[in-house]
Structure 1
């Protein structure tokens, strides 16, 4: 028997968060092609080779994780939707994850020679710590329960990306690579919505479980976080020991791991708070929107609707 299709009706909303998230994401729509990355070339030429190598590697790692999220993550989550509107929101997220992945290639194209780009992707596709977290998350997407998939997605969006985000935020705090940072701030703004939305969907299902079932999934969640953090420590040491930022990056990671748990409605695991994070990096997150003209160069201040800058409250539904 042929499948019966049901037309999606946005005038009959089952969950108001679906509609609110759709509107937020569409208002925030952006493309990397509107950011004048070439304006950062003067800063780039003044950086030493170690700094340039670090920038290339962190963006290579971010590209890989966004690829996982766009190719496998959202399709896995769509298997367990509650409403047609939820699927529409996940379609939007899936597309924007592809935009994020492409935006790093725009950065490479502007800053790096072709042979350098090849080397970055060769490192990205073979690095054991990057591959571990990509494969671990994807394995959950392919074999996990609906709740486990949502946990993996939130951990990826709100925790694992941040070892890479630290670098451009650090340079932004020192008034360098400002247009590259514009892209990162746009991505951060998207990821904050993605993490809170998927975390909310987790909480809806989690609250339907009995006490024993909740205890079981919480134990699994915290075990996974410990496992991912252990791998992230090794990845951070490999990237940042040479420039001496490792301890600061790990503090930033622990802070964002707590944010991921908050998105899932759970208690923080680590003692680190915003006060412990480098103020230079925190300032990069909270910097107000740049005043770019919509019809010329565009940064995270441009609007298709009323767009807000990400702040700590964006992590909460």
Structure 2
């Protein structure tokens, strides 16, 4: 009779990697739900936007919905195939759930601001836009066919770089004191993504540092080639998305800045010359991951008060 395989209970009192525990605690402190944000309070602002502005906002969130769907349905499952610790799986489970919360949050915004016909048009556009489909399929192919390290790179590029063509819009309106509750949802999502990208980047660095010099060089070449390819596609997507505005170049600057942040998460050198000083200061002010105070039970204010959560800063990307 074959000997049964031993199944191990997870033991949070015996931590192999303290980053797992610290990340779990940070993520659970940050827990939030879209249903607690009073998006309907933004209806007056919404009605004052032009039709072109409303189109951009709706389609921005359509694209973000697709990427968060990819991350929740394929991304985290892919990363779970190559974990180092049991606690890492628990952290990835948490991330996977919150990615689903993020995707649902956009539907909360749609159902509040848009008509059923508008929502149908947004999803039709999202599911057929060639640039949006290209990046989703590019990342998804890596999730299903890439090496463990390549999957982590794809995840960090998605969370810390590709989302930001969409994040620009609500942060811009927030800086102009418009759609503040919609923007609060985005700030909560950015706060989550900041931790996700940092944590997965850290796990990448553990594996990358164990490679030989030749293997590191090949991995680095692959990584930068992927980023060049994704950025070239993102230029096309940004032109599609922002054709009705004058923001295209500002969005691309914001994207390049966040591409460098993604590389920082992965322990690599920046690719683009753009820094925070080059980004529209209104948007940079909005990107702060702190949120306004919000009473979880009574929907007062715009933020959450579920534990004291600090904003991420550049030092958080350094795990030496």
TM-score tier (shorter): over 0.9
Regions of 4+ moved over 4 Å: 310-317
The CA deviation at 1:304 is 2.4
**CA distance in 2: counterparts of 1:66 and 1:145, whole angstroms:** 22
Q: Give the equivalent residue in structure 2 for 1:148.
A: 150
Q: Give the equivalent residue in structure 2 for 1:214.
A: 216
Equivalent residue in structure 2 for 1:35, among 30, 37, 41: 37
The CA deviation at 1:292 is 2.3
| Distance verdict in 2 for CA 1:69–1:182, change over 3 Å | same
Alignment TM-score, normalising by the size of structure 1: 0.97
Alignment deviations for residues 177-204 of structure 1 (CA, whole Å, 9 cap, x no partner): 0000000000000000000000000000
Q: Is it true that 1:119 corresponds to 2:104 in the alignment?
A: no
Q: Give the equivalent residue in structure 2 for 1:167.
A: 169
**CA distance in 2: counterparts of 1:157 and 1:274, whole angstroms:** 18
Name the SS of the counterpart of 1:305 in structure 2.
Answer: coil
The CA deviation at 1:298 is 5.7
Q: Is it true that 1:9 corresponds to 2:43 in the alignment?
A: no
Q: How does 1:76-87 map to 2 (within 5 A)?
A: 76-87=78-89
**CA distance in 2: counterparts of 1:313 and 1:259, whole angstroms:** 12
The CA deviation at 1:301 is 3.6
Q: Give the equivalent residue in structure 2 for 1:278.
A: 280
The CA deviation at 1:4 is 2.7
Q: How does 1:251-290 map to 2 (within 5 A)?
A: 251-286=253-288, 288-290=290-292
Tell me, which stretches of 5 or more residues in structure 2 are unaligned? Answer: none
**CA distance in 2: counterparts of 1:36 and 1:8, whole angstroms:** 38
The answer to whether the 8 Å contact 1:27/1:303 transfers is no
Alignment deviations for residues 145-167 of structure 1 (CA, whole Å, 9 cap, x no partner): 00000000000000000000000
Q: Which region of structure 1 is more displaced relative to structure 2, 100-109 or 234-243?
A: 234-243
| Distance verdict in 2 for CA 1:40–1:24, change over 3 Å | same
The answer to whether the 8 Å contact 1:27/1:307 transfers is yes
Q: How does 1:63-142 map to 2 (within 5 A)?
A: 63-142=65-144
Alignment TM-score, normalising by the size of structure 2: 0.96
Name the SS of the counterpart of 1:96 in structure 2.
Answer: helix
Q: Please, what is the CA RMSD of the aligned residues?
A: 1.3
Name the SS of the counterpart of 2:12 in structure 1.
Answer: coil
**CA distance in 1: counterparts of 2:289 and 2:195, whole angstroms:** 18
